[in-house]
Amino acid sequence: MSTSRVALVTGVSRGVGKGISSALAEAGWQVFGTSRRGDGPDGVTALACDHRDDEAVAQVFGDVREQAGRLDLLVNNVWASPPGFAGFTEKFWERPISDWDTLITVGLRAHYVASVHAAAQMTSQGSGLIASISSFGTRGHLHSVLYGMSKAALDKMTFDMAHELAGTGVSAVSLWPGLVRTELLLGSGLTEFAGFPLSEAEDPTFIGRVIDRLAGDERLPQLSGHTLISAELGARYGLTNDDGTAPASHRAAFGGGALFPPG
């Protein structure tokens, strides 16, 4: 049985989840990651899981418990685009109602289901962190109506989970990355996206390093229930992207002021 801290990251086949899980593994965590095909980055134990299947999710947590004996960190990251996804260029009334089945079922419900399993294990051991990847789409319109709904609900879920987790030794936070330099975005040839330059964006691995430091932050119990901006946490911890640059916070672009809970 490993003596390393144990993390489970959902949705690690590419993008943000791949970067987070890679960074955690590099930081010394024993990392498990889910993907539909059971693939993941080097250093991560990949587990096949369709997060629309509650029994498959339960099996993942059983496998982690059997192989590692504990769980110190859950990163809720899994996400799925709707069929026919074309960059959210259509209005909500022009899209099929079945968009709900991915943006809400996978983009929100899957995080709740995973959090239930994680909280049950973490509270029994008296420690742990549930970190959910949310978005500035909570604050202003971003992508689509259902996207914003899912992210706003995710932040409220985090706040209410923290209320019920108080006194257990388990914390819950919601993270807002800014523009992220995923493989898809870097391969597009764009130098900016939605008005934000890629030169100021975040590497997926940067977000993983932020979560690593947050999990060990002595102030974590006071941050439980809060929505946090990954670029601002990174600046506090002295972290940078892989190329040494510091990502920019999008707080001002989305209205400034307090996040969640309201100030």
> Which positions are catalytic?
147
- In whole angstroms, what is the distance from residue 61 CA to residue 19 CA? 21
Question: Which pair of tokens denotes residue 102?
Answer: 């991915």
| Radius of gyration, alpha carbons of the chain | 17
User: How is residue 140 annotated by DSSP?
Assistant: S
User: Quick one: how far is CA 232 from the chain centroid?
Assistant: 16
Burial of 116 (0-12, 13-18, 19+ CB in 10 A): middle
| Degrees, nearest 5: CA angle 36-10-261 | 140
CB 20 within 8 Å of CB 77 = yes
- In whole angstroms, what is the distance from residue 231 CA to residue 224 CA? 18
- In whole angstroms, what is the distance from residue 64 CA to residue 68 CA? 6
Token pair 């144990």: residue: 6
- In whole angstroms, what is the distance from residue 193 CA to residue 177 CA? 14
Amino acid at 232: E
Name beta bridge partners: 173: 131
CB 110 within 8 Å of CB 10 = yes
